[in-house]
Structure 1
Amino acid sequence: MARIGLYSTLIIVVFGVLIPFFIFRLCHWLGFKPLLALSFFIGLLYGALKAEYAWYGNGILGNAALMAASGVVLSAYVALSYGGASLVGRAASSLRR
């Protein structure tokens, strides 16, 4: 931990442990497909916020690609987080038996 620093360790713990298990619980509450759709929509919104002048000028194609990529990346993160947390949960429950 001393070599990578406290801030980097905190980011690894949050995005690698806490958020995947929060996503796993949220999937059980909402359902997997609605959560993927919600994450894609949030990714599109994030891409729209990060794009400069999203609907004007010559960069509309690049901005649309940024928005779509943001949605796909966030959806992939949610799917992988759910799969990883589910795998850990199943392994932990089999060890308890």
Structure 2
Amino acid sequence: AVFEHDEDYSDPGRFPLTIPPAAAAKMKQSMEFISLAKGEALAFDSFEAHTTGPNQTATPRLAMKIAYSDGVDKDRYLIRTDELENYSTS
């Protein structure tokens, strides 16, 4: 099922979608929290509710989205590898 959500672009450092409390309570009934160790990865589809805490290291987190068709506004989510190689948190 697709749950109702709200968009909030007020904080540029956070993902702009929020889940209303009623929908979150329903989702929580079947949620499973998974901790990953350094170097581990997890694959899931884009319909899974997902989040992560702040990155407290100097190493960037990498994310990959695999799509089977052209996306809308896809350039927003793309980054060149040379940008990753020169990444700095400062």
- Is the TM-score greater than 0.5? no
Structure ID, larger Rg = 1
Tell me the TM-score normalised to structure 1 length: 0.24
Tell me the TM-score normalised to structure 2 length: 0.25
